[in-house]
A and B are shown apart, each in its own frame.
Chain A
Amino acid sequence: MYPIIILSLAGILSMFIGAYKLKKLALPAVLVATLAAFVSNFLPQNLHDAPVYSGMLKFDSFAVNFSAVLMGITLVILILSRRYYRDNHEHLGDIYALFLFSVVGGMIMVGSYNLVMFFVGLEILSIPLYILATSERNNLLSNEAGLKYFLMGSFITVFLLLGMVLIYGMSGSFDFGAISAYLSSTPETPVLVKLGVMLIMIAFIFKISAAPFHFWAPDVYQGSPAVIMVFMSTVAKTAAFGGFLRFLTQAIAPIGDSFTPLLAVLSALTITIGNLMALNQNNLKRLLAFSSIANAGYVMLALVGLGVNSSSTVLYYMLVYSIANVITIAVYLTVKESLGSGSIDGLKGLYQSKPLLTFCLVLAMLSLAGIPPLAGFIGKYAVFVEALHNGYAWLVVLAALNSAIGIFYYFRVMRTAFQNAEEGPVTVPYVLGYSTVLVICTLVLLVLGIFPNVVLNGW
């Protein structure tokens, strides 16, 4: 729990920095705090196998590993945001504070051992995101994105609450351990508990933007500022997966099997919808949104075949997916800065002017498409194996077919980058802020592809 404390304090500090108009200090302070939190996460004193704080949080290796990934991705996105907010945004301190609070919420969620904490964590994660999505006040697209996200998010939260209260009413406790004990001691699960779990699942499906609650994702991702969009599609999603996995394995493990058929159907639906809709997109952010829907479906395969390795598989897949996403957005921002276009056609002529940038983009796309020997392939392979353990061969076949559709639109982006621009070679200058991120992420992606066991069998 050290990272939670450090980042909360850093968030408050960042707000004071904003209030005293010391904008130049905001990013260094936030970066140092995130690094400190990242390091303190691995201290042996941080790891507790028993619940702490009156059974509210449990910082076992699951929570520590998920927190590490959440903070790592945030670190990269913060570096990305230095250049993005170069025009001296008037509320820079507040924006960084909201980033940090959101990560704190995610860490509370993955470390929760009580439904109350789970709920509070989810809200601490979401509320800053609502504000961040609307942070471009005079941009109507950003306004609309924020409004949609907020309305749907708070509507779905109520279902989550109803589900929690129903489980509490039947089991008499919010504690994960007590709920699990109650469920294994009752031979027949009451219908209200099943309804409650179903309602919590609705909230989870919304948060990871899986079908049939995926409609908000393309709109919100397209309308939000790019840095916020990449934060939503990586950190918030990873936290949602971690939190739900936690709930599934710790609280309702005795009856978890009765929900796998439902998860399998939803996963099949999500993969198909995400891939088919992505085929026809011209806006790169919107394409990434549908690709993120499809990827959420792949990760759900690991939840379908819930086993000992599921946690590490989910974590590995989300890490690889997040890094590829950050690379794509960094390339997008570099190109957009000089051309001002958000469509895929804006990438035309990229290879002529900047082969290295194209190399990074190709690597990210190949990884997202799941081409061996890149990290994305290993992640997909691992989730397929997980689903096969539980005998869902039809689902794996469907997912593999969908990967082929995925190749189609990921390759379209790559092909556009290699095409010649009509008006001659365009000049896209390297931008230091984005290039740093590109170098870091590309290296991490390659290392993860060559040594997947660093994460996959890490605990």
Chain B
Amino acid sequence: MEKSIFDTVPLEQFIILSLILFCIGMVGVLRRRNMIVVFMSIELMLNAVNLLAVAFSAHRGDPSGQVFVFFVMVVAAAEVALGLAILMMIYRNVKSVDINALKQLKW
């Protein structure tokens, strides 16, 4: 059988890489004000989780982690479709994709 990357790189490095990607995404969500960039950052976080799931799955030789990744992808696609629809609707109403464009609800 051919050697895969999961045989040569230890699991810890995958965990660290995923957590780094996850944190980059989190900073993006918290810091950026453009809604499209926020969506992209959430996608980055999701994919960090997917990478971790695949790494665990390959490490254990158990396919259920990879099946889980498919579920996550489907749900992520649904969420992005919906998010972009909401974005379009808001853009038509206020002509801006800035998160702070809508600020009527407070206290």
- Taking beta carbons and an 8 Å cutoff, which residues of A are in contact with B? 116, 119-120, 123, 127, 130-131, 134, 137-138, 140-141, 143-148, 150-151, 154-155, 157-158, 161-162, 164-166, 168-169, 172-174, 218-219, 222-223
Question: Are A165 and B105 within 8 A (Cβ)?
Answer: no
Chain A residues with Cβ under 8 A from B71's Cβ?
Answer: 116, 119-120
Question: Are A165 and B106 within 8 A (Cβ)?
Answer: no
A219-B53 Cα distance, complex, nearest whole Å: 35
Contact of A174 with B68 at beta-carbon distance under 8 Å, contacts A127-B79, A154-B42, A169-B52 already known: yes
Chain A residues with Cβ under 8 A from B105's Cβ?
Answer: 141, 144-145, 148, 218-219, 222-223
The prevalent SS among residues of A at the interface is helix
Contact of A165 with B42 at beta-carbon distance under 8 Å, contacts A120-B75, A123-B75, A147-B102 already known: no
Q: How far does the Cβ of A224 sit from chain B's closest Cβ, in whole Å?
A: 10
Contact of A169 with B56 at beta-carbon distance under 8 Å, contacts A140-B104, A150-B83, A151-B38 already known: yes
Q: How far does the Cβ of B9 sit from chain A's closest Cβ, in whole Å?
A: 15
Instruction: Mark interface residues in B10-39 (1 if CB within 8 Å of A CB, else 0).
Output: 000001000000100100010000010010
A116-B52 Cα distance, complex, nearest whole Å: 15
A138-B42 Cα distance, complex, nearest whole Å: 27
- With A123-B78, A137-B89, A219-B105 known, 14 other A-B pairs at CB within 8 A are A116-B64, A116-B71, A120-B75, A127-B79, A141-B105, A144-B105, A162-B48, A162-B52, A169-B15, A169-B53, A172-B60, A173-B64, A219-B106, A223-B105
Please report the total number of B residues contacting A with Cβ < 8 Å: 39
Question: Are B78 and A127 within 8 A (Cβ)?
Answer: yes
Contact of A161 with B46 at beta-carbon distance under 8 Å, contacts A116-B71, A147-B102, A169-B52 already known: yes
A127-B46 Cα distance, complex, nearest whole Å: 16
A49-B103 Cα distance, complex, nearest whole Å: 49
Question: Are A174 and B64 within 8 A (Cβ)?
Answer: yes
Chain A residues with Cβ under 8 A from B106's Cβ?
Answer: 219
Contact of A143 with B93 at beta-carbon distance under 8 Å, contacts A116-B71, A155-B42 already known: yes
A161-B106 Cα distance, complex, nearest whole Å: 30
A150-B86 Cα distance, complex, nearest whole Å: 9
